[in-house]
Amino acid sequence: NTVIDAHDVSKVYNKETIPVYAVNNVHMHIERGEFTALVGPSGSGKTTLLNLIGGLDKPDSGSVFINSLDITKLSSNKLIDFRLKNIGFVFQSFNLIPVLTARENVEFIMLLQRIKKKERDARVKQLFKQIGMDDKMNARPAQLSGGQQQRAAVARALASKPQFVLADEPTANLDSKAASNLLDMMIALNNEEHITFLFSTHDQRVIDRARRVITLVDGRVVADTAAVSISHK
Ligand code: ADP
Ligand code: ADP
């Protein structure tokens, strides 16, 4: 059950001057329920690849299939809609809307999808229970610790019941205790709710807890701990 299939994807910057192959002929399959870390030195193409997979950016060549649909072929309007329904995003700087409460930040995504109040209420309650923040629903981001803000950001990413969650350096701005708590929560969501996570990181303690690790260097996949099982399919 393949959820992400990046097929021969490339992204080149500075085509007119000195080209930078930020992502260079990458193939990547992610199955439903996987918990994968994308690692590599700074500048190796992790953010660019996550943006291509999430449809935030278009590749110069290659295709990105999400559940067998090539999202590189979608019009911008269709892509916006597709992203909202199918992909949850978590960023290193949390990106919560400061004037909204934690609950409103999560509910906002459901309002965009015209989910009815009864279902919104039930889902908000469930999500805040899952992230261990029932008692912080009505706090604004500034009243929360970094770790709590990022947990709320994960709840927001899950609001639309997406196919998978993409997280770009989700622990980069957290102290080690908050980072470890966030990982515990992501692992629990993966184990109990079968949420598929693909996250970039260069924190070794985070890498150690991933089930699968894909390494990028200079825009290319140079190692994949799942390579053996894939080649036997
Ligand atoms: P990582 O997330 O692994 O640090 P990035 O995807 O941010 O890597 O960057 C990959 C390469 O692409 C780097 O050489 C970076 O300088 C270059 N790059 C990223 N974004 C742009 C951009 N908007 N314009 C030009 N070059 C870029
Ligand atoms: P977490 O493990 O979720 O990151 P911390 O251990 O950082 O939480 O924070 C512990 C407690 O301190 C939290 O309950 C939180 O309410 C409070 N706290 C931490 N940072 C801040 C902050 N910047 N503003 C307000 N409260 C904070």
Most informative mutation of 10, 12, 16, 20 for ligand 1 (most atoms within 8 A of CB):
20
Helices then strands, counting H and E runs in the chain, come out as 8, 10
Compute, in angstroms, the gap from residue 95 CA to the centroid of ligand 2. 17
Q: How far is CA 189 from CA 28, 60, 182, 203, 212, in A?
A: 23, 34, 11, 20, 16
ipTM above 0.85, yes or no: no
What does the pLDDT read at residue 232? 40
Pocket of ligand 2 (CB under 6 A): 143, 145-148, 177-178, 181
Contact 39/209 with Cβ under 8 angstroms? no
Per residue in 29-53, pLDDT (tens digit) is: 999 999 999 999 999 999 999 999 9
% of the chain exceeding 70 in pLDDT: 97
What does the pLDDT read at residue 233? 38
Mean pLDDT, residues 113-132? 95
Which comes out higher in pLDDT, residue 233 or 77?
A: 77
Query: Is the pLDDT at 118 greater than 50, yes or no?
Result: yes
What does pTM read for this prediction?
A: 0.87
DSSP string spanning 119-140?
Answer: HHHHHHHHHHHHTT-GGGTT--
d(CA 87, CA 164): 6
Query: Is the pLDDT at 231 greater than 50, yes or no?
Result: no
CA 4 to chain centre: 12
Taking each helix axis as running N to C, give the angle between helix 117-130 and helix 176-193, from 0 to 180 degrees, rounded to the nearest 10: 120
In sequence order, what E strands does 145-209 have?
164-168, 197-200
Atom 25, ligand 1: residue with shortest CA distance? 13
Per residue in 181-220, pLDDT (tens digit) is: 999 999 999 999 999 999 999 999 999 999 999 999 999 9
What does the pLDDT read at residue 226? 86
d(CA 137, CA 149): 11
Beta bridge partners of 164: 87
